[in-house]
Structure 1
């Protein structure tokens, strides 16, 4: 029973260590991903730093960078918390193993002393022949055999426990060193964050000094965006209108056929935008597949960071409505389709392109492209390149949107985390 408990204890310790290792690996990957995003934003900031004029893109980039740095410190805190738990667990394991080892050695010493007292073959024979009957003699023979086997097993368990104990001590030392390194990294990141927050304060002071010009720039941007948003909405409305026209033509032909055959014309129900866009089995299937991938769609660029979020928010004193998200990426990055679909619209608006891809009743919009590599009516697949990202305020960024019929959705709820 003692051996069974020891084996169960060792199994639970091993399982716990495996779970910790998995969690630790996930945190490490997340931290590395955040660092890549921070480095990308810093690279873009360095390019625009030479300009004396403060741009909206710089503010967005710096704000996003600070947010990422705070997230990275949070991940480091989680790593330290995980390590603290593992250190506590391993310390308890070491103490338990030391106790188990001492008990096993004590029991083994008792067996050795017993074996020493009964090492004479004559004594063993007398022990067997002193039995009352044959059954008892047989049991005594088996006992002596099992005693020898058990002693050997005890020796093996002692060696295994010592080996496991030494391994756990090594792991414990490694965890303590790793925690020390993480604490240093955490302190380093806090210093960097403080420096960037100071830079942010300088930017805010600069905004105050350039408030008039800054407000003028934001107003111009809102005006330009309103033109593009109107073009996007008109393009989607046109898709719905074409689907309605097609449905009405099919209804007209069905009514004419019924009349020619002296049959009652089928009852026509009012068509919604959803039913029109999902009128064919293929379109309905595509809509369903798109919905089923909510939260796991790939990003429209291979590397990037969200610098402006969906919905209404403030920049300085100005309110901005954003129908999608702005993703800052590397210069000349390829823009990719996030799902299978058909290119429904390509338009040049204010010197930059936007592409609309239809996925049944859903539409994905890729705005601020410098060039386009697909054509209207072309069927595209997931992650297929559709063009090259353009720049805004000298910053390479993509405005990415997802619409359901004529309602914009929050892309962050659809793309993978």
Structure 2
């Protein structure tokens, strides 16, 4: 059993790699607004976020009750079905159905795969390796995102549906990997009739100032991470118009995204050293500040120079997510760990989907979103982000964001 649990740690990396082969990541907005309109493209992303949001908490509860492996199998199947619908779709309704399934896939995996890793490490007496193992997994993930971004952009030039076909194949591989997982043992009672214990431990988590601080930070960083993801593609198209290269937007967008992920992989190599040098609160707040700065530059100018800032989009994730998970996972109980992580993701997606909906209402119904509309949305977001950053910094001075004693494996 111990050998099988240890194998989970290796399989986790490859599951993250396959889940991150999102071949359409750099071209989906261009594709949707080509077939439909800019407004419907934004709404389709909102559909994805709403679907994920509605399933976040139920999927976390399902994971805590039925097990990590079963929930991850459901995630792979939903992703396969969603990718297929996006590949064959030609209307808002079909695309929306595909987005719902992709959202369900992400919801089923949210919190569950991370809980699978931590519980597998804990079962083999290696819980203190969580930060190191998460950083390794993020390198696998970023590498897959880089590979699929560039490949997806090239595939889109051949046929705009091919990136979604590639996504379906990746989810098929993910299903095979997931079937090889072994359910890790848990210390808490997951039998029927333990719901009160589940709710009690979940409620106790929300009474912790430390966990609440990380909860708020997670919500904010989710939104600011996705602003360049949503608006970067039309922004790239706008910038390329100056060089008469608009027809190459899918390939350029893919190349930009690939470079973005490559830079993040490089940054992850020094993430532990930065964690030690700056301390956890300063590192996390610096990462959030960088997210705000990227959106701020996009709000100030539509020149091609912004492409350089877009390359930094995933750097904050590399400097924050593994350490956030490493800090909060030991503070959560086994019987509510995935539910708490799902609730955090739920809140982030709900806030972002709401903001996107208001953004869609405020923009033109024309096929391509004008830069002025993008800039207005980003200006409002940056103002909110700066106010939140100040609040988090003040709170961090009163809360033990960093653990008293932390062993960090190099």
What band does the TM-score fall into relative to the shorter chain? Answer: under 0.3
Question: Of Structure 1 and Structure 2, which has the larger fraction of its residues in helix?
Answer: 2
Query: Who wins on radius of gyration, i.e. which is larger?
Result: 1
Higher relative contact order, chain-length normalized (CA < 8 Å, sep 6+): 2
TM-score, with length taken from structure 1: 0.22
TM-score, with length taken from structure 2: 0.22
Question: Of Structure 1 and Structure 2, which has the larger fraction of its residues in strand?
Answer: 1
